[in-house]
Amino acid sequence: MQTKLPKISEKRIALHVSRVAERAIRSGHPWLFENAILKQSHQGKMGDLAVIFNKDRKFLGIGLFDPESIIRVRILRALKPATINQQFFEEKLRTAHQHRALLCDSDHTNGYRMVHGENDGMPGIVIDRYAETAVIKLYTPAWIPHLNDVVAALKNIFPFERIVLRLSGNLKENKYNLFDGMILDGKMLIDPIIFLENGLKFEADPQKGQKTGFFLDQRENRARVEELAKGKSVLNVFSYTGGFSVYAGRGGAKEVISLDASKVATDVAKRNFSLNQPASIMESTVHTIVTGDAFDAMTKMKKKGRLFEMVIIDPPSFAHKKSQVEGAIRAYKKLTRLGVEILAPNGILVQASCSSRVDSELFFDSIHLAARQAGRQLNEIERSEHALDHPIGFPEGEYLKCLFATAR
């Protein structure tokens, strides 16, 4: 380990919690909220181990303490005591690894999610693999004192060249900022990493890129786009580094436009397309970049009478809290309207949402409604949710949904 990280306190915090929290823990929920704590042994520090008891002093679980979040404890083990150490994490990693055997053993894919937080029994931490690089992303700083153990465990599962640390957006704004992009182990990163997804090459920048460098959760939806793209003109809205575009190219699309507000992202999209172009059918696909606001660009295309045979809309999360859900639905509907207005008769609309706050049914209904209001009827081809490496183990964990439909 090349970096000094804070050490774990020897002293554990004892917490006594309400009956409501007890029921949630017994049913397997991984979070203990601040307002459920009735008694706390001492103040404690970020990342201390917290031992949770019910009102009758019966053991309920052990987890990581975060004094700065309303999710006060992320539970590592419920109902059965455990020693939280390297071996404990190694067992979790091994189980997660086995669950992904189909991906881990593939010659075509070496970029995928190794650990999906709560859903793999490691709440508040995500680990993505990009070829020989692992990227650990934290959603709570409570993991920081445990990273030595996690890194040692990870190296026993796979001989990574390097392990990079990333922090979620809300943590980057404060004193934890210095940890974001840190190399926890192994070689410095000089050039972007090239990894494989379904045999296609992509570049990722795990130190500065969005998420951990790539949107690994869309792999299967991208493969579906490839199957549907033959001979089509495709508009990929919110393209980021061109994931959907490259698949559409391999699927035989005649034209692909990647549209995103970030120039860094569209520059990479251009490179990702070229990385794959020489060796395949993509040679004949014309790929164009548009850097700008999605709503403005689509409106301009509509005014010009531009029509596509496939429009893919995969925006960022519009709802981080409950109060933003209404606004998010309005934005999704506006995007659907704009999308179908530039869609040729019987063209395909692919629209996704990554907001866990937005319920799937509400999302799909809103798309249908918006399309009807724009005078188009959608015939569904498919609805998709989470892939194998993004399992869902609790209600709040569900976030991704995507609709494939033709517009009459």
The binding site for ligand SAH (CB under 6 A) comprises 210, 215, 218, 238-241, 243-244, 260-262, 265, 293-294, 314-316
Distance CA 408, CA 404 (A): 13
Residue closer to ligand SAH (CB basis): 160 or 399: 399
Distance CA 239, CA 150 (A): 33
Please report how close the Cβ of residue 97 comes to ligand SAH at its closest, in angstroms.
24
Residue closer to ligand SAH (CB basis): 44 or 315: 315
Residue closer to ligand SAH (CB basis): 119 or 353: 353
Whether residue 190 contacts residue 183, with contact meaning beta carbons closer than 8 Å, is answered with: no
Instruction: With H, G, I as helix, E, B as strand and everything else as coil, classify residue 193.
Output: strand
Please report how close the Cβ of residue 315 comes to ligand SAH at its closest, in angstroms.
6
Please report how close the Cβ of residue 294 comes to ligand SAH at its closest, in angstroms.
3
Please report how close the Cβ of residue 21 comes to ligand SAH at its closest, in angstroms.
35
Spell out the long-range contacts of 342-345 with Cβ–Cβ below 8 A and sequence spacing 24 or more. 342/235, 342/298, 342/301, 342/302, 342/306, 342/307, 342/308, 342/311, 343/307, 343/308, 343/309, 343/310, 343/311, 343/376, 343/407, 344/307, 344/308, 344/309, 345/407, 345/408
Please report how close the Cβ of residue 239 comes to ligand SAH at its closest, in angstroms.
6
Residue closer to ligand SAH (CB basis): 183 or 275: 275
Please report how close the Cβ of residue 244 comes to ligand SAH at its closest, in angstroms.
5
Do β-strands 133-138 and 125-130 pair in parallel, antiparallel, or remain unpaired?
A: antiparallel
Side-by-side strand order, sheet with 401-407 = 286-291, 255-260, 233-237, 308-313, 343-353, 401-407, 378-384
Please report how close the Cβ of residue 386 comes to ligand SAH at its closest, in angstroms.
15
Angle made by CA atoms 375, 378, 382, in degrees to the nearest 5: 165
Residue closer to ligand SAH (CB basis): 14 or 223: 223
Structure tokens at 300: 């301009």
Q: Is residue 222 classed exposed, middle or buried when 0-12, 13-18 and 19+ CB atoms within 10 A define those classes?
A: buried
Please report how close the Cβ of residue 217 comes to ligand SAH at its closest, in angstroms.
9
Residue closer to ligand SAH (CB basis): 21 or 313: 313
Residue closer to ligand SAH (CB basis): 72 or 222: 222
- 203: DSSP letter: E
Instruction: With H, G, I as helix, E, B as strand and everything else as coil, classify residue 192.
Output: coil
Residue closer to ligand SAH (CB basis): 261 or 374: 261
For the chain, the C-alpha Rg in angstroms (whole number) is: 23
Whether residue 242 contacts residue 268, with contact meaning beta carbons closer than 8 Å, is answered with: yes
Q: Which of 148, 146, 128 lies closest to 137 in space, CA to CA?
A: 128
